[in-house]
Homo-oligomer: A and B are copies of this chain.
Amino acid sequence: MAARTPGAEPATPPAATEGPVLVVGAGLLGASIGLGLRHLGVEVWLQDASPTAEAVAEDIGAGRSCRAAAEDRVPEPGLVVVAVPPDVAAETVARALEEHPAAVVLDVASVKEAVLEGVRARGADLTRYVGTHPMAGRERSGPVAARGELFTSMPWVVCDSGSSSPAALAAARHLAVDLGATVTFMDAREHDATVALISHLPQVMSSLLASRLQETPLHHLSLAGQGLRDTTRIAASDPGLWVQILAANAGPVVAALHGVREDLDRLIATLEAPRAPGARLDIAQLMAEGNAGRARIPGKHGGAPRAFETVTVLVGDVPGQLARLLAEIGEIGVNLEDLRLEHSPGQPVGLAEVSVLPHRRKELIEALQERGWKVVQ
């Protein structure tokens, strides 16, 4: 099925996921899905290899623990959501398809082709299976980190197995929409190639960069600016999860990494003879290619890349100061497209960089200055 951008997703009638839903795997995603469905009044049952995780998930209200309810008869689910780690997703999906012959079975692993092939290899019924990927991770994991709104306004990719029934695809789409996500359809291969570039490669590059800082003296790191903070933020992610993601999507990730290595080798060779003819042109070209790639990332709301203009304002580092600024921007009636705080090593003063539509910038600056704000320009 052709990919569709979130923007192209048509408005849907109030979608309805019918319970009972069985969530297998009570980690961050499973528990968050359970919480979200419970908020909608859907009956949710939880299963996890870890009795503790299963119990915690029940305690936070993500659904009922199958173990705890062992004596009742757990109802036969109409929908099974498999939210286990990627390396056991395929076998768990296959088992669920077999144990629940009437149910639609979805998984939410962040790699899709390996799971699909694993399910196929087990001879399971692909008409009732749909692979999906809610693109809403967090740096933390486990049921305690779960939140029902985890998926709000995030993309949720739905992958036809090639034989998925219309009913199964509808169930996948309803689940995503019910939880506030924006649905995009892709096949598994296209999904994996996409996340290799927009998610897995950034993770690898951030980790490679951050690992260079292991020996750096702290008083050197204290000079670090926002650039280093931004480029290394996701390097804090959970190795256990990423091992599985990278191993399961090794092919597309390696392809991207080979491209990186070619550029890196070229740059190293150039910088080893920085006075050689053409050296500066090589460096400039690499930087310009970076400019070009960056410029293609869509802006807020998934729209086309859009150049906002920024207004930078001095704020004191005391409670309420930034609030007063934003309140006055609200009064002025200019919409804040984005906001970045510049950290202030050594001093209790911050710079708030406010992004606004270009044609509102001048007006905003004047209005802020009238109100006594120090606008930095």
Contacts and interface: CB of A to CB of B under 8 A. Distances in A.
Q: Provide the main secondary structure of the chain A interface.
A: helix
A369 interface: no
30 contacts: A136-B225, A147-B312, A152-B344, A153-B350, A182-B345, A194-B216, A197-B212, A198-B221, A202-B231, A205-B208, A206-B290, A207-B291, A208-B290, A209-B290, A210-B290, A211-B293, A227-B234, A236-B291, A237-B287, A238-B287, A248-B274, A254-B271, A257-B268, A261-B261, A261-B264, A319-B333, A319-B336, A322-B336, A338-B341, A338-B343
A42 interface: no
A264 B271 contact: no
Given A197-B220, A259-B212, A327-B323, A294 B135 contact: no
A73 interface: no
Given A213-B296, A234-B230, A338-B341, A224 B198 contact: yes
A311 B202 CA distance: 25
A16 interface: no
A155 interface: yes
A138 to B, nearest CB: 9
A31 B267 CA distance: 32
Contacts of A288: 239
Contacts of A338: 341, 343
Interface in A1-45: 3-7, 9
Interface residues of A, number: 145
A7 B223 CA distance: 11
Interface of A: 3-7, 9, 135-136, 147-150, 152-155, 157, 180, 182, 184, 190, 194-195, 197-199, 201-214, 216-225, 227-240, 242-243, 246-248, 250, 253-254, 256-261, 263-265, 267-268, 271-272, 274-275, 279-280, 283-284, 286-302, 304, 312, 314, 317-331, 333-336, 338-339, 341, 343-351, 374, 376-377
Given A205-B208, A294-B210, A319-B330, A197 B216 contact: yes
Nearest to A206: B231
